[in-house]
Amino acid sequence: MNIKHQKTRQVLELFEKISAIPRCSKHEEKIGAFLLDWAGKNGLKARKDRVGNVLILVPASPGYEKSPTVVIQGHMDMVCEKTADSPHDFAKDPIRFVFEGEWLKADHTTLGADNGIALAMAMVLALDKSAVHPPLELLFTIDEETGLTGANALQGDFIAGKILLNVDSEDEGVFTVGCAGGRDTHISLPVRYEDAPEGFVMARVKAGGMTGGHSGVNINEERANAIRVLARVLAQVRRQHDARLADISGGTAHNAIPRDAWADIFIPRDSFKAVEKLVAEMEQVCKSEFRKTDPGLKLSAELQLETMGKRPLNTADSGRILDLLIALPHGVAAMSTEMKGLVETSNNEASVRIANSKLEIVTSQRSSVMSRLNALTWRVEAAARLAGADAVSGDGYPAWQPNLQSPLLARCKEVYRRLFGREAHVEAIHAGLECGIIGDKKEGMDMISFGPTLKNPHSPDEKIHVESIGKVWDFMVELLKSLK
């Protein structure tokens, strides 16, 4: 691809180096070490806190020494998702870039532009002698994607600045000034096994090829959830046949809509052809329902000649599990009455699996109204208890309430208008951002979030609009120049 914007080329070159370093959530050790080493080699002071957050100090440009310190913030980790046929090993393999027209994506994996592109942009800026700016603090946090661990553990005195630019939004020309709070719930249900009746065989039912996506950004698009599709199919099979669940697995991350799921079931041998036909019929039904959002949806039933030592659950537990998976809420629960088009409250039925004789389910609730977040969490917990399961919900993270009178917002709007001759759009989002937590820890912090245009984060279809990187760069440089 011919990239004309010089800084875009530099950002992508550095982003490719970052993308060669393993950085799945909760495994940021190597990227943290890389950042500290990079700072040292370039004569910049840097430090790491007790959980692994990294702070790099960039001196002010001449004439800006007395300007207020600006924090440029992003997170080190990425959601590690891949297609079912990808051999990629996130623990060692570099992310492979693929250019498609105006877009950059990865080869059958998440790209990690969420949020590696923020790291690359901040690092290029730190070494750019042509850019003038106040003192900068580059704050790179850990484990944003699976619980905002780094932001939650951040000590208020780790940073000095009270102006924060979060480069983790996903539409160029949009300023984000608020976000949802969130909380995860972990459900656990002991299961009981028994021997398979005489003449029973094991079949694997698969639900796959779904679009998936970000459980905050894409939750309003009515995309198929593979776990729910699978549970629905299995419930239909049990209505017509003596089917007993042996194993089930689906979903990988609390903030990703599940794309693939499978279950092993025991059924009478002479029922397999009928089950196979029923699953094929359900595939057509689901493909019709989700034809707009999930054109790649696939369902299948495959006879397993080797049971791999598996035994079926008893009939009661099989039914209890499917009832719970169907009863748990998923999708939009309420739309905002304050901001048109904004999802206020939602739930993501994120993952399911059986391990150590226990069914384990993770759900992820979001809301910009904390009382509604509590109410939806209680609903999830109640459904779990009715099934005889234990449910434990985390503390979660707070919503970031919009401040439309923010001086930083006014400055950003003025700079954007002057630079591009049009108005930027101001919004709150249903996804979670670290701004709410950081602002809660640092009194008086004025914050805004922006970033290049990114589509389908948290899925192998993630892609970034290359031209938008240069536009965000130009805006950020001009904004910093104006903060003298």
Question: Which structural domains are found in the chain, ordered by start?
Answer: 6-179+399-482 (3.40.630.10), 183-393 (3.30.70.360)
Percentage of the chain exceeding pLDDT 70: 100
Residue 331 confidence (pLDDT) above 80: yes
Mean pLDDT of 338-349: 93
Position 24 scores a pLDDT of 97
- Check 81, 137, 143, 144 and give the catalytic one: 144
Residue 233 confidence (pLDDT) above 90: yes
Mean pLDDT of 415-434: 94
Position 76 scores a pLDDT of 98
Position 308 scores a pLDDT of 87
pLDDT in tens, 52-71: 999 999 999 999 999 999 99
**What is the average pLDDT score of the chain?**
96
Question: SS3 letters for the chain?
Answer: CCCCCHHHHHHHHHHHHHCCCCCECCCCHHHHHHHHHHHHHCCCCEEECCCCCEEEEECCCCCCCCCCCEEEEEECCECCCECCCCCCCCCCCCCCEEEECCEEEECCECCCHHHHHHHHHHHHHHHCCCCCCCCEEEEEECCCCCCCHHHHHCCHHHCCCCEEEECCCCCCCEEEEEECEEEEEEEEEECCECCCCCCEEEEEEEEECCCCCECCCCHHHCCCCHHHHHHHHHHHHHHHCCCEEEEEEECCCCCECCCCEEEEEEEEHHHHHHHHHHHHHHHHHHHHHCCCCCCCCEEEEEEECCCCCCCCECHHHHHHHHHHHHHCCCEEEEECCCCCCCEEEEEEEEEEEEECCEEEEEEEEEECCHHHHHHHHHHHHHHHHHCCCEEEECCCECCECCCCCCHHHHHHHHHHHHHHCCCCEEEEECCCCCHHHHHHHCCCCEEEECCCCEECCCCCCCEEEHHHHHHHHHHHHHHHHHCC
pLDDT in tens, 254-291: 989 999 999 999 999 999 999 999 999 999 999 999 99
Catalytic annotation on 323? no
pTM over 0.85: no
Position 164 scores a pLDDT of 98
Catalytic annotation on 260? no
- Check 28, 77, 172, 349 and give the catalytic one: 77
Mean pLDDT of 145-161: 92
* pLDDT confidence band for 84 (50 / 70 / 90): confident
* pLDDT confidence band for 146 (50 / 70 / 90): confident
